[in-house]
Chains A and B, each alone.
Chain A
Amino acid sequence: MLDFLSMVFTIDFFYSIFRITAPILFATLGAVVVEKAGISNIGLEGIMMSSALFGSLTAYWSGAWYVGVLVALAVGIVLGFVMGFFAFNLKTDIILTGIAMNMVGSGGMLFLVRVITNLTEGRAMASTTSLITANLQIPAVHIPLLEDIPILGPILSGHSVLTYLAFILVFLTWVMLYKTSLGLNIRSVGENPNAASSVGISVIRIKYIAIAFSGAMAGLGGAFMSMYYAMGWSQDMVAGRGFIALAAQAMGAGEPLGSMLAAMVFGFAQAFGIKVSAIGVDSNLVSPIPYVVTILGLVVFALVARRRAKHQHSAAALEKLASKA
C-alpha cells in the first residue's frame, strides 16, 4: 500500500494537478461571473472547442504562440456576444443557446477544420495535431528562487504562462466582482434586475459584458488545451471541461476562491486517474474517477447549501419571534 502511495504521489503528480486544473479554472471563472449576472452559460464547452481550433490554426499560420492565444481569446469573446445576441435580443432560451454552442463546438469545428485545412494545406485533416510543433507551445516560466526550493520548487515553478495567468485571474475576478462598480452592477443584475434597471443600470449591457467575459475565459481555456495541454486541436479534446467548470462553480458556491478550490479538486481527481493508469491499473477502472468525484462534490455541495438554508431559515424565524415579544 505504502508502495502504491509513493508511486502515485510524486512531485510529478502534484505538478500535473496545476497543469490539469488550469483549463478547468479558466472556464470556472467564466462560469462564476456569468452566474453572478443570473445567466447559466452551459455553452462554455463549445466555446472552448472553437477557441482551441482557431487558436491552434492561427498560431500555426503566424508561427507565434501568442497570436494563437489572442485569437482564441477574441473568438471566445465574439462567441459570447453571439450567444448574448440570441439569448438577450432574440430571446432564445439560454440553455438551448448553450446546447447549440456546444454543437457548434463539436460538429461545427470538425467541419471547419476539414474545410480550412483542405484550402490551406491541400488536404482535409481531422485534427491540427500535426501542425502544432514544439516551438508553438505556450512557453513555460521558471520562477527564480522559487524553483530552487526543494519539492515545492519543481511543483510550483516551470508552468506555462497561461497556468499562472489562470490563478492570477482568480484574484482579479474577485477584485472585479467585489471592488469595482462593474462587479456591483453584475451582482445586482443577477439578483434583482428590476432594482438594477430602476436606478438606471442597463441590464442588457451588463449581461452582455458578463457573457462576453465568460467567453473570454473559455477562450483562454481553449487556447491552453490546444497549444499546451495537447499539441493541436482534435475532436472532443475538451472532454467535458466546460461542464466540469459549471460543477466547480456550483461547488464553490459561485465565489471565485471557493470555485478555484473546487476546480483543483477536479484537477486532483483527473491527475490521480492519469497517474494510476500510468502505473498499470486498468484504465477502465480509473477513467470514471473524475466523474465520480464530480458527483460526490455536487452532493456535498447540495448538503452544505441545504444546511445553510435551514440555518438561515431558523435564524429568521427566531428573529421574527424575538421582534414580536
Chain B
Amino acid sequence: MAEARAAAENSVEEYVVQMKGITKVYPNGIAANQDVDLFVKKGEIHALMGENGAGKSTLMKMLFGLEQPTSGEIIINGEKVNLTSPTVAISKGIGMVHQHFMLVPSLTVAENMVLGIVPKKSGIFIDYKKAVEITKEYSQRFNLHVEPDAKVMDIPVGMKQKVEILKALVRGAKILILDEPTAVLTTQETTELFKELIHLKEQGYTIIFISHKLNEIMEITDRLTILRGGKSMGVHNTRDVTKEEISRLMVGRDVVLSVQKDVAKPTDTVLKVRDMEYVNEWGKKMLDKVSFSVRKGEILGIAGVEGNGQKELVDMLFNLNTPNAGTATVNGENILGLPQRKIREKGVSLVPEDRMVFGIAGDGTIEENLISDRCGSKDLNRGPLFNMNAIHDSCKKLIEDYLILCKSGKQKVKMLSGGNIQKVVVAREFSNDPVLIIADQPTRGIDVGATEFIRKKLVELSRSGIAVLLISADLSEVMELSDSLIVMYGGKIAAYFEDTRELNDEIMGEYMLGLKRQPEEQVRRVCHE
C-alpha cells in the first residue's frame, strides 16, 4: 500500500478520487475499515470487491457523505474535502446508485428525475414539459432509455436503475458509485447495463463498481481494489490478475479456529429436500432445483457468498416463504406450508439469521424468551395459569447450562450483549429435543467466547444423533464445523464435498464465486440415495 500511496502522490492529477488511510470505527467498537486506500483514476471503471462485511459499503458511504471517517482523508479532483452529507458529495460531483432504489413509486420518471431541483414556470408551478425534456435529453445523451411519462411503479427494475443513474447525472455527477448494480438484474439487463457503463466511461465519467461477482468484474472493470475484513488487499489492473488470484485475495481465512470433533457416523436421513425452486418478486430465480439430505449425527454445511439462495432456502424450510416447486420432509413427513408450531412439533429447531427480529422479543424477559416455544406445555402450567416455579427452575437451569451472563432471568433480553442474546436463542432452540437443528449464521457478530461455546454445542448435539444444517457465510466456521458441505452459487448447489477435511480455501473460493461447478451426478450424491 505504501507504493500505491507514493505512486498516487507522484501523479496527483491522474486521480479523481483519493481516499487515504481511511479508518472507520463504529461507536460499538467494530472497525469496518482499517487504513484503507482507494485511488480511482479519471475515466476508469474501478471495481471495489470483497465479501459481505468486508467494508465495501462503509467505504462508499463515506465517499457519498452518509458517514464520516474516524481518520484518514478524502481528496476529490485534487481538493481535500469534508463530505458531511450527500448534498455536499453531490456538489463535488459524486453520485451514488443505491442497491435499494431511492425512487418515489407513484411519481413519473420525469418527476423523479427532477425531484429537489424542479424546473419552474412563473415561480411556483412545476414546468413538467421541461422535466420531460431534461429527461429525454439526458436519456439520449447517455443512451439510457427510459420512459419519462411512465410512473416508476409501472416500469421494470432495469429501467428503475437507469432512472437512478440519470438522476445522478442530472445533478452533475462525474463520479458514479454503483452498489452491486447487477444484484437485482436479469442477465439481459446486466448485459445492457454494461454497454451503458462503457458508453459513460468513453464520455469521461468515472465509475466505482461494487461487486463480488468475478465474471462481471473481469468483463468491464479496468482496475480493482479488494477489501477483506475491513483492510485493503491492494489495487490491481484487472487484466493482470486471474480470477483465481482475485478469489484467493477475497476469500481466505485469517484465523483458524479448531473445534475438536470425532468423525461423524451418520445414519438415517432426517431432512430431505428435493427439487426446491423459488422465483422471487422481481422474477429472479433464487432456488433452482435444490436437492439435498441431512442425516442423523452429521453436520451438513452450506457455504456460499450471501445472496445465492441460502436465505431463501431457510425461509422455505421454516415456512417464512413459499417455494414454487419442490418438497421438503422431516423423517418422511412434509413440513412445507405448515404453521411454525407444527414444524417445531416435528422436532425442527431454528437459530435464525436475524436474531433480533426472528430470534427474540427484545422487551420480553430472558425467561419469557426461553419458554416462548413451549409455554403451552404441561410441565410449565398449572391449570389455566403458569407454574411460575417450574418456569423459573427450568430457565435457571438453561441459563446455567448455556452460560448466559445476566443479572437474573427477569432481565429484558435486549439489555444483554449480542453473544448472550444469541445464547438465549440457542438455549431455547437446542433444549427442545430437536431432531433437526437449522443453524443460520449462528455466530455472526458475536464475541469469540460465545462463538466457541455455540460451535462446541453444535458438534456435541450432532454427535448425540441430531441432524444439523449449518448455513454460514463465515468460511472458516462452515469448513471447521461441517462433516460434509455443499456450496451454493446462483441458487444452485454448485458443489458437494463429502469430507471437509480435504478442503482448502482455494477450492472453496472457486466454487463460491462461480468459477467452477461440479457435474450434476457428483452434486446429486448429497441426496444419499
A interface residues with partner B (beta carbon < 8 Å):
179-185, 187-188, 191-192, 194-196, 198-201, 320, 323-324
Q: Check A191 against B115 for contact (C-beta < 8 Å).
A: no
Other-chain residue from A183, A191, A192, A199 in contact with B116 (beta carbon distance below 8 A): A199
Other-chain residue from A184, A200, A320 in contact with B107 (beta carbon distance below 8 A): A184
B101: chain A residues within 8 A (beta carbon) = 195
B156: chain A residues within 8 A (beta carbon) = 323
A201: chain B residues within 8 A (beta carbon) = 115-116
Q: Check B102 against A195 for contact (C-beta < 8 Å).
A: yes
Nearest residue, chain B, Cβ from A197:
B86
The complex places the Cα of A192 from the Cα of B125 at a distance, in Å, of 22
Q: Check A194 against B118 for contact (C-beta < 8 Å).
A: no
Q: Could you write out 27 A-B pairs with CB less than 8 Å apart?
A: A179-B126, A182-B124, A183-B126, A185-B115, A187-B104, A187-B106, A188-B104, A191-B105, A191-B106, A192-B102, A192-B103, A194-B102, A195-B102, A195-B103, A196-B104, A198-B86, A198-B98, A198-B102, A199-B115, A199-B117, A199-B167, A199-B171, A200-B87, A200-B90, A200-B116, A201-B116, A320-B283
Q: Check B126 against A181 for contact (C-beta < 8 Å).
A: yes
A192: chain B residues within 8 A (beta carbon) = 102-105
Q: Check B102 against A184 for contact (C-beta < 8 Å).
A: no
Give 7 new A-B contacts, CB below 8 A, not counting A184-B126, A196-B104: A181-B126, A184-B118, A188-B104, A191-B105, A191-B107, A201-B116, A324-B283
B120: chain A residues within 8 A (beta carbon) = 181
The reply to whether the CB of B277 lies closer than 8 angstroms to some CB of chain A is no
B interface residues with partner A (beta carbon < 8 Å):
86-87, 90, 98, 101-107, 111-112, 115-118, 120, 124-126, 156, 167, 171, 283
Q: Check A195 against B115 for contact (C-beta < 8 Å).
A: yes
Q: How far is the CB of A205 from the nearest CB of chain B, in Å?
A: 12
Q: How far is the CB of B66 from the nearest CB of chain A, in Å?
A: 9
Q: How far is the CB of B21 from the nearest CB of chain A, in Å?
A: 28
A323: chain B residues within 8 A (beta carbon) = 156, 283
B171: chain A residues within 8 A (beta carbon) = 199
B126: chain A residues within 8 A (beta carbon) = 179-181, 183-184
A181: chain B residues within 8 A (beta carbon) = 118, 120, 124, 126
Q: Check B118 against A200 for contact (C-beta < 8 Å).
A: no
The CB with the most chain A CB atoms within 10 A, among B86, B90, B116, is that of B116
Q: Check A200 against B102 for contact (C-beta < 8 Å).
A: no
Nearest residue, chain A, Cβ from B103:
A195
Other-chain residue from B87, B112, B116, B125 in contact with A180 (beta carbon distance below 8 A): B125
Q: Check B106 against A179 for contact (C-beta < 8 Å).
A: no
The CB with the most chain B CB atoms within 10 A, among A180, A182, A185, is that of A180
Nearest residue, chain A, Cβ from B119:
A181
A199: chain B residues within 8 A (beta carbon) = 102, 115-117, 167, 171
The complex places the Cα of A183 from the Cα of B128 at a distance, in Å, of 13
Q: How far is the CB of B525 from the nearest CB of chain A, in Å?
A: 32
Q: Check A196 against B115 for contact (C-beta < 8 Å).
A: yes
Q: Check A196 against B105 for contact (C-beta < 8 Å).
A: no
The complex places the Cα of A25 from the Cα of B58 at a distance, in Å, of 49
A182: chain B residues within 8 A (beta carbon) = 124
The CB with the most chain B CB atoms within 10 A, among A181, A184, A199, A320, is that of A199
10 nearest CB pairs, A to B: A199-B116, A181-B118, A195-B102, A188-B104, A198-B102, A200-B87, A191-B104, A200-B116, A192-B104, A199-B115
A179: chain B residues within 8 A (beta carbon) = 125-126
Q: How far is the CB of A322 from the nearest CB of chain B, in Å?
A: 11
The complex places the Cα of A323 from the Cα of B126 at a distance, in Å, of 35
The CB with the most chain A CB atoms within 10 A, among B98, B104, B118, B167, is that of B104
The complex places the Cα of A199 from the Cα of B126 at a distance, in Å, of 17
Q: How far is the CB of B94 from the nearest CB of chain A, in Å?
A: 13
Nearest residue, chain A, Cβ from B118:
A181
Q: How far is the CB of B177 from the nearest CB of chain A, in Å?
A: 13
A320: chain B residues within 8 A (beta carbon) = 283
Nearest residue, chain A, Cβ from B113:
A199
Q: How far is the CB of B30 from the nearest CB of chain A, in Å?
A: 24
B125: chain A residues within 8 A (beta carbon) = 179-180
The complex places the Cα of A177 from the Cα of B155 at a distance, in Å, of 23
The complex places the Cα of A323 from the Cα of B103 at a distance, in Å, of 22
Q: How far is the CB of B519 from the nearest CB of chain A, in Å?
A: 28
The complex places the Cα of A181 from the Cα of B125 at a distance, in Å, of 7
Nearest residue, chain B, Cβ from A192:
B104
Q: How far is the CB of A172 from the nearest CB of chain B, in Å?
A: 12
B115: chain A residues within 8 A (beta carbon) = 184-185, 188, 195-196, 199, 201
The complex places the Cα of A194 from the Cα of B112 at a distance, in Å, of 13
The complex places the Cα of A37 from the Cα of B156 at a distance, in Å, of 26
Q: Check A184 against B111 for contact (C-beta < 8 Å).
A: yes
Q: How far is the CB of B195 from the nearest CB of chain A, in Å?
A: 20
Q: Check A188 against B118 for contact (C-beta < 8 Å).
A: no
Q: Check B102 against A188 for contact (C-beta < 8 Å).
A: no
The complex places the Cα of A191 from the Cα of B111 at a distance, in Å, of 13
Nearest residue, chain A, Cβ from B167:
A199
A180: chain B residues within 8 A (beta carbon) = 124-126
The complex places the Cα of A294 from the Cα of B98 at a distance, in Å, of 44
The complex places the Cα of A185 from the Cα of B120 at a distance, in Å, of 13
Nearest residue, chain A, Cβ from B117:
A199
Nearest residue, chain B, Cβ from A182:
B124
Nearest residue, chain B, Cβ from A199:
B116
A324: chain B residues within 8 A (beta carbon) = 283
B98: chain A residues within 8 A (beta carbon) = 198
Q: How far is the CB of A257 from the nearest CB of chain B, in Å?
A: 17
The complex places the Cα of A179 from the Cα of B118 at a distance, in Å, of 11
The complex places the Cα of A181 from the Cα of B118 at a distance, in Å, of 6
Q: How far is the CB of A73 from the nearest CB of chain B, in Å?
A: 21
B87: chain A residues within 8 A (beta carbon) = 200
The complex places the Cα of A323 from the Cα of B155 at a distance, in Å, of 12
The complex places the Cα of A183 from the Cα of B189 at a distance, in Å, of 34
Q: How far is the CB of B440 from the nearest CB of chain A, in Å?
A: 28
The complex places the Cα of A322 from the Cα of B351 at a distance, in Å, of 39
B106: chain A residues within 8 A (beta carbon) = 187, 191
The complex places the Cα of A195 from the Cα of B104 at a distance, in Å, of 7
Q: How far is the CB of A69 from the nearest CB of chain B, in Å?
A: 25
The complex places the Cα of A98 from the Cα of B357 at a distance, in Å, of 30
Q: How far is the CB of B480 from the nearest CB of chain A, in Å?
A: 40
The CB with the most chain B CB atoms within 10 A, among A182, A187, A195, is that of A195
Q: How far is the CB of B142 from the nearest CB of chain A, in Å?
A: 19
The complex places the Cα of A195 from the Cα of B102 at a distance, in Å, of 4
The complex places the Cα of A191 from the Cα of B151 at a distance, in Å, of 13
Q: How far is the CB of B299 from the nearest CB of chain A, in Å?
A: 38
B116: chain A residues within 8 A (beta carbon) = 185, 196, 199-201
A183: chain B residues within 8 A (beta carbon) = 126
